[in-house]
Amino acid sequence: MNDFRKDFAKVDGQFLDRSGASATDANNYFPPIVVTREQIDAEVERLASAPLPANGRRESLIVHPFAETNAPGMTPGIQVKLSVLKPGEKTLPFRHNATEVNFCIRGAGHCVVAGRRIDHQQYDVWNHPSFATYVHANDTRDIQVRLTYSNVPLLQHMQVYLPEDDPQIVVAPAHDEAEAADPRRKSPFGIFPITEDGGLLMPYETLINPTPVLSLPLHFAWSKVKPELDKLEALGKDYIGRRLYMYYNPITGRTNGITPNFFATMTIRPPKIVDRPHRHSSAAINYYFHGSGFSNVAGQRYEWKAGDLMLSAPGWAVHNHASYDDYVYELTVQDQPLNIYMESLLWQEDLKKPALVLGTEQGFDTNRAKVAS
C-alpha cells in the first residue's frame, strides 16, 4: 500500500437502538492532575542526559492516564509536549496539520517558523500556524525547555493527523490573474438566496476556493507583556473578574484565540486573591511559574506552586483559584475558540445565574468600570 492506495477491510455499518434512552450526562470526565515541578525537572534531566536523536527532538508528551492510546493528550483535545535542547543543538525541520502554542519555560533560543525567525526568552509565547515548517534551535549556553500545546489529539481522534519529518520546501505556484479570471473556472450563478430565512446556495467553485486568511506566527515577549499585566493589580480585591490578558491572534476573529483551537492567557494573581467559582465546557491547563496557591475543582482541593503544570478545569467542572502570600503568574491554555465556533461553549460565570452559549448569546459583564473609577 502507498499514500494513494489503502487496503481497507470489508466492514458493515451498524444500528444502535437508542429508543427511549435518557440523554443524561454520559461524559467520562478527566480528573484534574498536577504535574509537579519536581516531576518536570526530573524528566528534563532525563531527556537532557540522553543522546541527541537523529531528528534533534528530545521530547516527551505529558499524558493524562484517562487519555486514549491512539490520541495521547492531557485532555481529549489538548496535547502538551515537553521539549529540551542543550546548548548548540537544533531540530530538523518538521510540520504537521496541527496548530501550536509554544511557551519557553527555561533558557532561551530561537525558532524559525514559516520563514520567520523568532528569538525567544524565558516565558515568551508564540504560535505556529498549521502545516508551517519549523525548526527549534538553542544558541545559548543554558539548556532550553519548552512546553508546546497543540490540537494533535483531536486530529488523531478524527484519524486525520498528518505529520511530516524533514519536509521538502515547496514553492507555491504564482497566481495567474488571467487564469483566475477565466469565466469557465467560475460558476456564472455565484452564491444566491434559496430560503426566506437567509439560506444560500454556494457553487462548487466557491466551496473549493474559500477566501484565504493569512495565518502568521505571532511572538508575545514576556518583557513587553509583564509591565501591562502588573498594572491589573490596581483593580483591587473588589474586582470580580480575573486579572489577565489574552494573547489575541486577529485571524481568529470573534472566537478570541491565539490559534483557531486555543486561547492563551497570562494571569497575575496578587497575594490572597480568591476567584469566584465558575465553569465552562472548555478545558483549561495552567502552568504556574511564580508564587503558589490552590484550586477548588468540583469540590476537591488541589495545591500548586511555581513550576507545576495543572489540568485545572476539566470540561464543565465548577472551579476557582486562590493565591497564597506571594504574586502568582500563570499561563492558561484553553480550547475555548474551537468551542465558540462549534456553538458548544457553555459558560456559567455566576453559579446563581443560567449558563450562556458564549459567541451566540450576549455574554457577561464585570465590575471593572466601577472599581477602576
Looking at the domain assignment, is residue 23 inside a domain?
no
37 is in which domain, residue-wise? 33-165
Contact 129, 92 (CB under 8 A): no
Is the same domain home to 161 and 226? no
- Which pLDDT value is given to residue 185? 61
Which of 135, 165, 195 is where one domain is finished?
Answer: 165
14 domain-assigned: no
> Is residue 234 a part of any domain in this protein?
yes
Biggest CA pair distance of the chain: 70
In a domain, 7, yes or no: no
Residue 159 sits in the same domain as residue 257: no
CB atoms near residue 90 (< 10 Å) = 18
Last residue of one domain, picked from the residues 131, 165, 199: 165
In this structure, what DSSP letter does residue 357 have?
E
Question: Which grid cell is 216?
Answer: 502568521
The reply to whether 38 and 156 lie within a common domain is yes
pLDDT in tens, 32-61: 999 999 999 999 999 999 999 999 999 999
Question: Which amino acid type is present at position 55?
Answer: N
The total of structural domains in the chain comes to 2
Last residue of a domain, one of 165, 191, 207: 165
CA-CA distance, 360 to 339, in Å (whole number)? 11
State residue 23's pLDDT score: 78
Q: Are both 227 and 310 inside the same structural domain? A: yes
CATH of the domain at 157: 2.60.120.10
Do both 116 and 226 map to the same domain? Answer: no
Supply the pTM of this predicted model. Answer: 0.93
Domain contains 94: yes
In a domain, 269, yes or no: yes
**Positive or negative CA dihedral for 289, 291, 292, 296?**
negative
In a domain, residue 61? The reply is yes
**Residue 251 domain-assigned (yes or no):** yes
Q: What pLDDT sits at residue 205?
A: 86
Per-position b or e across 103-123, b if 16+ CB within 10 A of its CB: bbbbbbbbbbbeeeebebebb
Say whether both 234 and 132 belong to one domain: no
pLDDT at 27: 86
Residue 170: per-residue pLDDT:
60
Strand ordering across the sheet containing 300-305: 300-305, 292-297, 319-323
Look at residue 178 in the predicted model and tell me its pLDDT: 61
- Intervals of the chain under pLDDT 50: none
Rounded Cα distance, 272 and 130, in Å:
40
Number of C-beta neighbours around residue 293 at 10 A: 23
Give the strands of the sheet with 309-313, arranged side by side: 33-35, 309-313, 284-290, 328-334, 263-269, 244-246
pLDDT for 89 equals 98
